[in-house]
């Protein structure tokens, strides 16, 4: 998911202002954060570590769940998609934690 999101922000795709607003330093910082998460995620595909994966997913769940509060709206398309993705991430995280508990 982060590849099209990063490309949309980087290339200033026509739909990006609807979710992320017009280009600003804040949107550039957000792109930086998304790119960092993408790079770490790609790295974990080559060197998987369940604890590192769980930590990365937990960070994503926290920021996605807090976006309605920081944006101040449930109507923003990015907020809505963040909540949907956070639900999927929580399910994934629960499977990782269960697997880690069983392996100990």
Mean pLDDT for the stretch of residues 39-68: 96
Task: Quickly count: other Cβ atoms within 10 Å of residue 47's Cβ.
Answer: 7
Looking at the structure, do residues 53 and 100 belong to the same domain, yes or no?
yes
Same domain, 59 and 43: no
Pair 2, 39: CB distance under 8 Å:
no
Give me 22's structure tokens. Answer: 């017009």
Query: Which pLDDT does position 104 carry in this prediction?
Result: 81
Taking a C-beta distance cutoff of 8 angstroms, is the pair 54, 97 a contact? yes
96 contact partners, CB below 8 Å, separation of at least 6 = 50, 53, 54, 57
Residues 39 and 71 in one domain: no
Q: What is the pLDDT of residues 19-50, one digit of tens each?
A: 999 999 999 999 999 999 999 999 999 999 99
Structural domains counted in the chain: 2
Indicate if 59 and 102 belong to the same structural domain.
yes
Show the tokens assigned to 13.
């795709």
Q: Same domain for 40 and 83?
A: no
Q: Write out the E strands in 1-104.
A: none
Answer yes or no: do 55 and 77 share one domain: yes
Number of Cβ within a 10 Å radius of residue 23: 13
Domain containing 81: what range? 49-104
**Confidence grade of residue 57 (pLDDT, cut at 50, 70, 90):** very high
């Amino acid at each position: 998911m982060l590849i099209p999101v990063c490309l949309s922000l980087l290339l200033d795709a026509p739909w990006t202002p609807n979710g992320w607003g017009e280009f600003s330093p804040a949107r550039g910082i957000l792109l930086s954060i998304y790119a960092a998460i993408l790079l770490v995620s790609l790295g974990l595909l080559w060197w998987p570590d369940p604890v590192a994966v769980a930590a990365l997913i937990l960070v994503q769940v926290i920021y996605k769940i807090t976006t309605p509060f920081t944006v101040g709206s449930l109507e923003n398309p990015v907020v809505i998609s963040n909540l949907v993705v956070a639900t999927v991430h929580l399910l994934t995280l629960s499977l990782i934690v269960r697997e880690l508990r069983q392996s100990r």
